[in-house]
């Protein structure tokens, strides 16, 4: 299957991108692995005609928004993100009318029509930096309340109103599991994603995005790390740090949507050129502004 994918990839002039949360086989067949923003940038800078985005829908959509001239494929059509679905467009429009003086900041985990209504998009790596630079004192942050709370803690000078969204996978990571793991494993360093609940972030030694977690574990010299995010990152962590031990906080930190893509889906995606991402041009143009504003402010 791997050979067949590689051959077809060359014939199609395609690039395969895999998010950090994908299954190991898909990560290993990809040309680039990383977070959604990094992968969208790789897609934009590539001279390949076709991008196979192994991830969830909003990620492939962001790549298409930034590279409208390319064919962007999402191997599994119903690989969605429940967090991205937690913003209702009518409610957002109502909120915008209620807060005309606020800057609307959306996490990259949103659909294109929601990005189109926001001033700037952020990722978990750059949310704090970008929100500090926005001139408005009042910020509406959506949809993840945990990442929003983390930003609030780090940017106390802003008046930040939070949406009530959450990632069901990160919500399942419990403080109790982490505490019991700490009792079993000596000198366990806890690295948590900002999408985790506050009580988990509070007992973590470090809070950061998937890229920041991978960088932290790679650039420090501890032996035992507990990874409080979707367990897919552990494959890359082990490859990069064969002498370190990585633990999960129980067995529930698996995102069912991220695990939908198998090698067969990647192959079929290239063979039948499915499932192509298409976005209404007006929505894509507005959403592109929010993504490009992020590129400008993240510099």
Q: Which helix (H) or strand (E) holds 116?
A: none
The span of 8-16, 33-41, 60-68, 157-165 binding ligand CIZ (CB under 6 A) equals 33-41
- Shortest CA distance to 204 belongs to which of 184, 223, 230, 182? 182
C-alpha 31: how far from chain center: 18
Residue 108 as a binder of ligand CIZ (CB under 6 A): the answer is: yes
Other beta carbons within 10 angstroms of residue 1's beta carbon come to 12
Q: How far is the CB of 284 from ligand CIZ (least distance, A)?
A: 19
Residue 156 to residue 182: CA distance in whole angstroms: 31
Beta strands in 188-228 (DSSP E): 188-192, 206-207, 224-228
Query: Which residues partner with 104 through β-bridges?
Result: 140
In this chain, which of 36, 111, 236, 257 binds ligand CIZ, going by CB under 6 A?
36
Q: Residue 39 or 102: which CB sits closer to ligand CIZ?
A: 39
22, 40, 109, 261: which one binds ligand CIZ (CB under 6 A): 109
E strand map for 138-281: 138-142, 159-162, 188-192, 206-207, 224-228, 245-247
* Surface-to-core class of residue 4, CB atoms within 10 Å of its CB (0-12 exposed, 13-18 middle, 19+ buried): middle
Q: Which of the ranges 32-40, 147-155, 197-205, 281-289 carries the binding residues for ligand CIZ, by CB under 6 A? A: 32-40
User: Shortest gap between Cβ of 101 and ligand CIZ (angstroms)?
Assistant: 28
Find the shortest distance in angstroms from Cβ 270 to ligand CIZ: 23
Task: Please answer whether residues 70 and 93 qualify as being in contact, where contact means their C-beta atoms are separated by less than 8 angstroms.
Answer: no
Taking the least distance from each CB to ligand CIZ, the nearer of 4 and 171 is 171
**By C-beta, is 12 or 257 nearer to ligand CIZ?**
257
> Is there binding between residue 231 and ligand CIZ (CB under 6 A)?
no
Q: Any residues with CB less than 8 A from the CB of 26 and at least 6 apart, and which? A: 18, 54, 261, 262, 263, 266
Pick from 209, 236, 257, 269: which binds ligand CIZ (CB under 6 A)? Answer: 209
Q: Phi-psi bin for 13: left (phi > 0), alpha (psi -120 to 50), beta?
A: left
What character string, x for contact with ligand CIZ (CB under 6 A) and - otherwise, covers 41-80?
----------------------------------------
Q: Which of residues 169-208 bind ligand CIZ (CB under 6 A)?
A: 193
The least distance separating ligand CIZ from the CB of residue 212, rounded to whole angstroms, comes to 8
Examine residue 210 and tell whether it contacts ligand CIZ (CB under 6 A): yes
Report in angstroms how near the CB of residue 109 gets to ligand CIZ at its nearest. 5
Query: Residue 164 and residue 171: Cα distance in Å, rounded?
Result: 13
Give the angle subtended at the CA of 282 by the CAs of 119 and 148, to the nearest 5°. 25
- Total residues at interface with ligand CIZ (CB under 6 A): 12
Out of 12, 16, 30, 37, the only residue in the binding site for ligand CIZ (CB under 6 A) is 37
- Which positions touch ligand CIZ (CB under 6 A)? 19-20, 35-37, 108-109, 123-124, 193, 209-210
């Amino acid at each position: 299957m791997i050979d067949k994918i590689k051959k077809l990839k060359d014939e199609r002039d395609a690039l395969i991108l895999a998010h950090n949360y994908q299954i190991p086989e898909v990560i290993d067949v990809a040309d680039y692995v990383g977070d959604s923003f990094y992968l969208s940038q790789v897609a934009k800078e590539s001279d390949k005609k076709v991008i196979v985005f192994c991830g969830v829908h909003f990620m492939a959509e962001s790549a298409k928004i930034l590279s409208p001239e390319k064919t962007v494929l999402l191997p599994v059509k119903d690989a969605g993100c429940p967090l991205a679905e937690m913003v209702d467009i009518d409610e957002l429009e109502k909120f915008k009318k209620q807060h005309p003086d606020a800057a609307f900041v959306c996490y990259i985990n949103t659909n294109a029509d929601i990005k189109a209504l926001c001033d700037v998009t952020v990722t978990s790596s750059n949310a704090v930096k970008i929100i500090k630079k926005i001139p408005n004192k009042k910020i509406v942050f959506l949809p993840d309340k945990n990442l929003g709370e983390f930003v609030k803690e780090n940017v106390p000078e802003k008046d930040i109103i939070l949406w009530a969204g959450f990632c069901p996978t990160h919500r399942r990571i419990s403080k109790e599991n982490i505490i019991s793991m700490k009792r079993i494993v000596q000198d366990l360093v806890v690295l948590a994603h900002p999408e985790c609940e506050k009580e988990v972030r509070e007992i973590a030694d470090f809070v950061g995005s998937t890229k920041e977690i991978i960088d932290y574990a790679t650039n420090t010299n501890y032996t035992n790390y507990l990874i409080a995010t979707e367990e897919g990152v552990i494959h890359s962590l082990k490859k990069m740090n064969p002498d370190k031990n990585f633990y999960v906080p129980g067995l529930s930190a698996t995102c069912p949507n991220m695990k939908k893509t198998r090698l067969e889906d990647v192959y079929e995606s290239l063979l039948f050129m499915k499932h192509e991402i298409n976005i209404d041009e007006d929505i894509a143009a507005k959403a592109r502004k929010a993504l490009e504003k992020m590129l400008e402010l993240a510099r």
